[in-house]
Amino acid sequence: MLKKQTTVIDIGSSAIVTLIGERGVNGSFKIAGKGNVSYDGFSNGKFFSPSDLKNVIAMSISNAEQTSNTKVTDVFVGVPGEFCSTYSEELTVNFGKKKKIKQVDLLALMHKGAKKHPTYSIINNSVIYCTLDDGKRLIDPVGKVTSHLSAKICYMMAENNFLDFISQIMAEIGIRHVSFIASTLAESNYLLDPHIRDRYAILVDCGYLTTNVMLSQGDGLLFLNSFSMGGGHITGDLFQVLKIDFNQAESLKRKIVLGWQTGDNETYDLMGKEFISAYSAKTTNEIAEARIEIIASYIQKCLDRCEYEFPDYLPVYLTGGGISYIKGIKDFLGRKLGRKVEIVSPNLAQSTRPDYSSEISLLDAALAQSENNYNLIYSSRW
């Protein structure tokens, strides 16, 4: 089988990233091109500078084209969690006699649970679990023999305004075909091992300006809630309270060590071109901890809204470029949530950081859809 290059566009809260890649060996990827362009981002489901988005996306695609020496005509666009919603349905079909399940049977069952919504459209769906005659749960029933098929299916929806806006931009810059993938669903399925998702798994993606809280099971999301706060708010707090340059505040944030029992004379030092700036480690930590406590309280509120009951011992898997890299974040956030916290990120030599999680997960999901040649994850709106 010929390897196929695929292009994905990750719409983050601080940058638009275009990746052109294909599968490598042993679960790796070959990245042929990448374009990373910073922009104002979004908050509360609204872009700060929507009129600039076309140029930012075009520049990101152009940069990826130049590094890969290819022309992009088809893309998969990741829909951020703030523009998505999810629901699940229990569905059953009786065949009357035993038969071997085909892919078309599963897709037909999935279609039965699709609901029309005035402001959202289904962009993806996936299996949470299936059961056959023997009652055992499994994810992929294709090829099994049974007289009935039951399934719990996850349906990911995206705001029509977002889909229409991005589709219009893509048409204007010459993209021939656009498919949409929920970034949160892609992250859950790529970052968390299937055995972890067998029962329940909590995944939190804390980015620069937005945080997504997910409860996953099987290959689907049972619950998704988002709020507009992330690591950039720590930078903003340092900027305002310490009255320093914003870039300095960002650099200072990256030196923070949570849990450090600092004395009054301990400092974080920033190297300038001709000088060293020293900032009180105690004050800096207090500012950052106050904001992270707010983020933790919002995460807990999201989990409290979840209709599913999951055990207290269930850990929180943390990813994203907002706070994952802060030293001591696992213990600090774990104490605030009353749960063990683990950092998850792509297990790739070239992309091991949590801030790469979304773009690599999208590439994995897009390649899976292209390779399978069917819309188990739907690429178009209902």
CA gap 117, 179 in Å, rounded: 19
Rounded CA separation 67/30 (Å) = 13
The packing angle between helices 281-305 and 231-242, to 10°, is: 140
pLDDT at position 206 is 98
pLDDT(275) > 80: no
DSSP-derived secondary structure for 127-157? EEEEE-TT--EES--TT-EEEEEEEEEEEEE
What is the distance between the alpha carbons of residues 7 and 363, in angstroms, rounded to a whole number? 7
User: 379 — phi, psi (to 5°)?
Assistant: -100, -5
Query: What is the three-class DSSP state of 365?
Result: helix
pTM over 0.85: yes
Q: Give one DSSP letter per residue of 301-335, joined into a string.
A: HHHHH-SS---TT--EEEESTTTTTSBTHHHHHHH
- Domains of the chain by residue range: 6-82+160-192+347-372, 85-158, 194-343
Structure tokens of 290?
């106050």
| Percent of the chain predicted with pLDDT > 70 | 96
pLDDT tens figures, 98-152: 999 999 999 999 999 999 999 999 999 999 999 999 998 999 999 999 999 999 9
Among 75-89, 110-124, 201-215, 268-282, whose mean pLDDT is lowest?
Answer: 268-282
Band of pLDDT at residue 261, cut at 50, 70 and 90: confident
Task: Give which of 10, 58, 15, 62 is closest to 40, Cα–Cα.
Answer: 15
The pLDDT score that the predictor gives to residue 52 is 96
Are 37 and 20 in contact by the 8 Å Cβ rule? The answer is no
Residue 1's pLDDT is 40
Burial of 251 (0-12, 13-18, 19+ CB in 10 A): middle
Give the pair of three-digit tokens for residue 309. Answer: 């009951």
DSSP for 104-123, written as a single string = HHHHHHHHHT----SSEEEE
Q: Residue 80 carries which DSSP code?
A: P
Residue range 218-226: mean pLDDT, rounded: 97
Q: Which fold has domain 194-343?
A: Nucleotidyltransferase; domain 5 (3.30.420)
pLDDT band of 373, cuts 50, 70, 90? low
Q: Quick one: tokens of 67? A: 């590094």
* Cβ partners under 8 Å of residue 290, min gap 6: 237
Fold match flag (6-82+160-192+347-372 vs 194-343): yes
Q: Is the pLDDT of residue 2 over 80?
A: no
What distance in Å separates the CA atoms of residue 200 and residue 153, rounded to the nearest whole number? Answer: 15
The per-residue pLDDT of the chain, averaged, comes to 93
Average pLDDT over residues 283-304: 98
Q: Compute the chain's Rg from CA coordinates.
A: 22
Instruction: Answer whether residue 365 shows pLDDT above 50.
Output: yes
Average pLDDT over residues 336-364: 92
Residue 276 has pLDDT above 90, yes or no: no
Yes or no: say if 329 and 319 are a contact pair by the CB < 8 Å rule: no
Residue 3 confidence class, pLDDT cut points 50, 70, 90? low
Q: For residue 126, what are the β-bridge partners? A: 154
> For the domain 85-158, what is the CATH code?
3.30.1490.110
Q: What is the pLDDT of residue 279?
A: 94
- Report helix, strand or coil for 77: strand
Q: Quick check: 375 pLDDT over 50?
A: no
Q: For position 67, what pLDDT does the model report?
A: 94
| CATH architecture, range 6-82+160-192+347-372 | 2-Layer Sandwich (3.30)
Is the per-residue pLDDT at 245 higher than 70? yes
Per the CB < 8 A criterion, the answer to whether 362 and 17 are in contact is no
**Cross-strand partners of 148:** 94
Name which of 11-25, 120-134, 269-283 the model is least confident about. 269-283
Amino acid letter, 73: T
